């Protein structure tokens, strides 16, 4: 059975906003009990007051509550959890997910430099801030603005998905050598290099 707080979150997600009285009637609880749960959810930053509405009948206007942006992110976390579990976090599941993310992207051909430039252009619409750098030991692809930073600690397999996308785009296996490490401007970066051919 769902907890009262989760039921409050679900109700606010479904209806947009509600007062403590409306929530208490929906759950068959006293308004005081609901207000206690509302206070806890507010302290956790999951809901916030959004104004007052006239009470039915007599009395002063009632405070209404709605989901905060934090709660909406939590909903995205739950969706990501469910989708990643259904995709499977094994290597084959991450390959399938990588291909799905890339869609109908054509594999890059030509010299290494040209393939890196094409990979950077292909990754930009996916929310990354990609770039590539020439290094004495070989070029490296740098991914800034990880679109999954909020959930990566719970789903480290997404780094493997990134590696599979880059392998597909570059036509050669890659290896991740840095994960969300601060770059020159302090922004977290992930760095991938081409794996040497055996």
Instruction: Supply the pLDDT for residue 55.
Output: 58
Q: Which two tokens stand for residue 36?
A: 């206690």
Instruction: Give the residue ranges of the chain where pLDDT is below 70.
Output: 1-2, 53-59, 71-79, 88-89, 104-108, 197-198
Instruction: Supply the pLDDT for residue 1.
Output: 42
Same domain (yes/no): 113, 190: yes
Instruction: Supply the pLDDT for residue 72.
Output: 63
Same domain (yes/no): 175, 102: yes
Instruction: Supply the pLDDT for residue 74.
Output: 60
Helices (H), 103-156: 112-123
Instruction: Supply the pLDDT for residue 163.
Output: 92
Residue 134 resides in a domain: yes
Same domain (yes/no): 107, 168: yes
Residue 76 resides in a domain: no
| Domain that residue 31 falls in | 4-67
**Cα–Cα dist 18/51, whole Å:** 10
Residue 92 resides in a domain: yes
Instruction: Supply the pLDDT for residue 28.
Output: 92
CB 178 within 8 A of CB 165: no
Instruction: Supply the pLDDT for residue 41.
Output: 87
Helices (H), the chain: 4-15, 20-27, 31-43, 69-87, 91-102, 112-123, 157-170
**Cα–Cα dist 179/198, whole Å:** 25
């Amino acid at each position: 059975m769902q907890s009262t707080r989760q039921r409050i979150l679900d109700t606010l997600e479904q209806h947009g906003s509600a007062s403590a009285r409306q929530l208490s009637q929906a759950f068959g609880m006293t308004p005081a009990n609901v207000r206690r749960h509302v206070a806890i959810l507010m302290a956790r930053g999951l809901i916030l007051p959004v104004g007052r509405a006239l009470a039915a009948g007599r009395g002063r206007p009632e405070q209404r509550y709605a989901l905060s942006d934090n709660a909406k992110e939590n909903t995205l976390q739950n969706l990501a959890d469910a989708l990643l579990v259904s995709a499977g976090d094994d290597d084959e599941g991450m390959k399938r997910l990588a291909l799905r993310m890339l869609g109908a992207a054509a594999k890059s051909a030509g010299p290494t430099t040209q393939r890196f430039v094409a990979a950077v252009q292909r990754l930009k619409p996916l929310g990354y801030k990609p770039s590539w750098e020439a290094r004495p030991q070989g070029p490296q692809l740098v991914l800034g603005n990880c679109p999954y930073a909020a959930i990566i600690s719970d789903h480290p397999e997404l780094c493997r998905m990134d590696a599979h996308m880059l392998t597909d785009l570059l036509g050669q296996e890659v290896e991740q050598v840095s994960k969300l490490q601060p770059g020159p401007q302090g922004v977290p970066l992930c760095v991938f290099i081409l794996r040497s051919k055996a």
